[in-house]
Amino acid sequence: MNKYIKLAIPFLVGIAVYFVGWGCIDFSKVAVIDGVPQLTLGIWIYLSIFIGVIVGLILEPIPPALVGIIGVAIAVFFKVGAAKSGDPEVVISSSNAINWGLSGFSNATVWLIFAAFAIGLGYQQSGLGKRLALALVKKLGKSTLGLGYAIALTDGILAPFIPSNTARSGGVIYPIVSSIPPMFDSYPDKNPRKIGGYIMWVSLAITCVTSSMFLTGLAPNLLAISTASQAGVAEISWLGWLVAFLPAGILLFVLTPFLAYIIYPPEATGSKEVVTWAKDEYSKLGAIKTQEKWMIAISVFALVFWILSSVNALKGSIIEINATTTAVFVIIFMLAAKIISWNDFLSNKPAWNVLTWFATLVALAGGLKNVGFLDWLSFILKGGLENLSPIAALLGLVLAFYLLHYFFASTTAHVSALLLIFISAAGAIEGIDVYLVTVLMMLSLGIMGIITPYGTGPSPVYFGSGYIKSSDFWKLGTIFGLVYLVVFLIIEVPWVLYVVGDFITPAITH
């Protein structure tokens, strides 16, 4: 599709939505009548802008962050998005409008995402990420299956500290694993199934698992928490997230390399050459550097205080530090230890890009609540869902949220487009725990990335490697996506609802 056509489509969709509503809907002149939320023109204007932004995020005619900025700018111009701006009886000043537009930049979770990207840079700059990967390959790479588990362990170790699975898997792991197949005369156009196809698929599949295992394993996880808070859903802690996904996470982590070995078996089962190569590459790194030692110590600090910030008994004590504060201190420590320089920090384009992108999305998501759209939607959905049992509704919501990812090439766009709507739907069902169903939907964000060749950041990297032909990629995505979904529904739903629900629920919601 022509770039200019793709650029025009979001604007045309937004305008079309507005005029359809303007011509077909009798908008209310007040926001609430007898306690019932009403659909007003202000709400519809904002919804038109929001839908245009979502279309822009899906098509990506320009960088997604710029799409977000344009959406916020248009909403600010029309003075919709700020609190009560959907109420025809409330006059919104230009200063209130722009304060709302910039509100995402004061969001602590957005800054946690930004800081975590900087931490990922520390792993790359110090060389610690590469050392970890080579050390595990050296130890476990004697067999192809062992190599699969070496890849899994590398991703699992890095996942809590590098929230971009593109940077983690595509930036740290892919350059290493892509060097292995040629040693076996395995190339995209020659013997791809000998070993290349297997290790490429394991690399992608396991990063989808680790992206769900850790709150900080996938940037959209953090965006989802901030987005859900806009609908009044309390934030789950770092430790709460880990505990919530633990049983399914452990099973899928252990199962994934073996399952790939059975379903998409490599022709080469032994890989002694890999061990030799890894030893040679590891020896080139020399003794562990001071910067790497500092990076290990700083990582331990981050992990300890992220866990402590999740312990309710410590709330209010000097030991308890907010997760974002911890991440900021990590950046300061990395600068002090000269793991990264100030210029490295300033030139970290992915981090600044994600800060701008997610800050605008958080503001836009909050606007749906501010203008009254979510209140109106919840009331409408309540009439259609009130006859469903809570468990049937919960399973239906989680299943639909997962499968709709087929229509998204970005987990961020998925969160922005659907999460608040699904939370509103959950809130309309009598007897359902909105917090827990929201947690279940958020926990699925990582694993759903496996279902398509475009489902998550690293997917195009491994798909583009050429080792797995397109038809195989889709078949594997369907099989693994189904396995991940079944495991999730069978294990996670009862685990979250009936075993750890009280533990992972923030004290403020009791």
State how far the Cα of 69 lies from the Cα of 62, in Å rounded to an integer. Answer: 11
Residue 455 lies inside a defined structural domain of this protein: no
Name the helix (H) or strand (E) containing 36: strand 36-37
- What is the pLDDT of the chain when averaged over all its residues? 87
- Give me the pLDDT at residue 453, please: 84
Whether 72 and 199 map to the same domain: the answer is no
- Give me the pLDDT at residue 509, please: 41
Does residue 265 surpass a pLDDT of 70? yes
**pLDDT class of 507 with cuts at 50, 70, 90:** low
Residues 159-163, mean pLDDT to the nearest whole number: 85
Residue 428 lies inside a defined structural domain of this protein: no
Residue-wise pLDDT for 316-342, tens only, equals 556 667 778 888 898 999 999 999 999
Which residue segment(s) compose the domain that 61 sits in? 1-101
Least confident of 2-11, 91-100, 119-128, 471-480: 119-128
Whether 45 and 155 map to the same domain: the answer is no
Report the candidate in 104, 45, 106, 107 with the shortest Cα–Cα distance to residue 77. Answer: 45
- Give me the pLDDT at residue 315, please: 56
Burial class (CB in 10 A: 0-12, 13-18, 19+), 187: middle
Whether 59 and 114 map to the same domain: the answer is no
**pLDDT class of 259 with cuts at 50, 70, 90:** very high
Whether 70 and 2 map to the same domain: the answer is yes
Whether 54 and 139 map to the same domain: the answer is no
**pLDDT class of 258 with cuts at 50, 70, 90:** very high
Please, are residues 216 and 238 in contact by the beta-carbon 8 Å criterion? yes
Name the helix (H) or strand (E) containing 57: helix 41-59
Whether 309 and 204 map to the same domain: the answer is yes
With pLDDT > 70 as the criterion, what percentage of the chain qualifies? 95
| Bigger pLDDT: 112 vs 78 | 78
Residue-wise pLDDT for 193-242, tens only, equals 998 899 999 999 999 999 999 998 998 998 899 889 988 899 998 999 99
Half-sphere exposure of 244 (CA within 13 A, CB side): 30
- Give me the pLDDT at residue 313, please: 44
The conformational region for residue 363 under phi > 0 = left, psi -120 to 50 = alpha, else beta, is: alpha
Q: Which of 53, 68, 101 is the last residue of a domain?
A: 101
Give the number of domains in the chain: 2
Please, are residues 227 and 420 in contact by the beta-carbon 8 Å criterion? yes
What pTM value is reported for the model? 0.78
Residues 173-186, mean pLDDT to the nearest whole number: 82
State how far the Cα of 414 lies from the Cα of 92, in Å rounded to an integer. Answer: 30
Residue 308 lies inside a defined structural domain of this protein: yes
Q: Which of 325, 349, 373 is the last residue of a domain?
A: 349
Task: Tell me which DSSP letter residue 90 carries.
Answer: -
Does residue 314 surpass a pLDDT of 70? no
State how far the Cα of 496 lies from the Cα of 476, in Å rounded to an integer. Answer: 28
Whether 95 and 120 map to the same domain: the answer is no
Does residue 33 surpass a pLDDT of 90? no
Residue 373 lies inside a defined structural domain of this protein: no
